[in-house]
Amino acid sequence: MIKPRRSQDRQDYYYWEAKRKGYRSRAAFKLLQMNSTFKLIKEGDRVLDLGASPGGWSQVCRELGAEVVAVDINPMKPIEGVTFIKGDINDEETVDRIKSVYSKYDAVICDASPKITGHWSMDHFRSVELVMSAFRIAKSVLKYGGNFVVKMFQGEETQKNFREMKPYFRFKKFHSPKASRKRSAEIYFIGKGFRPVKRYIFLQNDKNSRDENGFKRSKAEP
């Protein structure tokens, strides 16, 4: 359980509720609220939890009866039924490790946050990088019809990110759960009913070309 740093946090209802119910983070309530509104995770699902530590979302997924693979750059104390991968979601190697547990997932959920500097625009751009990494991973591991949730800090790229992600989902929406702090810039993109979209974005013989998931190709395709 993360200790509250500010006196405001110590008075926080969700902090004490998390402590009382044995959740490792107050963030657990955000996923519970989003799941009850949007029905994202169900019993038997395989769920990929990105930016998972200390583990509140993974605990909720286990309660919902899902099999969980959790990824974080920081360590996470074990949870029964959760396979933990310590890695950076921006690295392709982490994606290989994710795929070595299950090749496809019913849901990808991402609550990853950059280290907050308090500088609005810098925090926004760091968060955009994490959002795009989570989206690349989701495109490569989601089952047809699967669900995606990703946190972002709002800013000038938010609408652009939305336009990029929305063709891939039957249902798409931005949502702010009640458990998010009032002063927070965070918002969640909810995508339901994943459907791959073919895009030809790489150029012949361009060494910087990327595959359809956005990863750099080692060699340009003929």
**Single-letter amino acid, residue 49:** D
* Cα gap 109→52, rounded to integer Å: 9
Q: Tell me which of 18, 41, 53, 147 binds ligand SAM, using CB under 6 A.
A: 53
Beta carbons within 8 Å of 91's beta carbon, 6+ residues apart: none
Site for ligand SAM in 118-137 (CB under 6 A): 130
- 56, 146, 177, 191: which one contacts ligand SAM (CB under 6 A)? 56
Name the minimum Å distance from CB 159 to ligand SAM.
23
* 3-class DSSP state of 196: coil
Angle value at C-alpha 182, between 18 and 77, nearest 5 degrees: 30
Check: CB of residue 105 under 8 Å from CB of residue 141: yes
55 binds ligand SAM (CB under 6 A): yes
Q: How far apart are CA 105 and CA 171, in angstroms?
A: 18
Can residue 28 be called a binding residue for ligand SAM (CB under 6 A)?
A: yes
Active site residue ranges:
151
Q: Is 40 in the site for ligand SAM (CB under 6 A)?
A: no
The single residue among 34, 54, 136, 153 that binds ligand SAM, judged by CB under 6 A, is 54
Cα Rg of the chain, angstroms:
17
Find the part of the chain contacting ligand SAM (CB under 6 A) among 68-76, 96-104, 135-143, 200-208.
Answer: 68-76
Name residue 216's beta-bridge partners: 210
| Residues touching ligand SAM, count (CB under 6 A) | 23
Note the residues at the interface with ligand SAM (CB under 6 A): 24-25, 27-28, 51-57, 71-74, 88-90, 111-114, 130
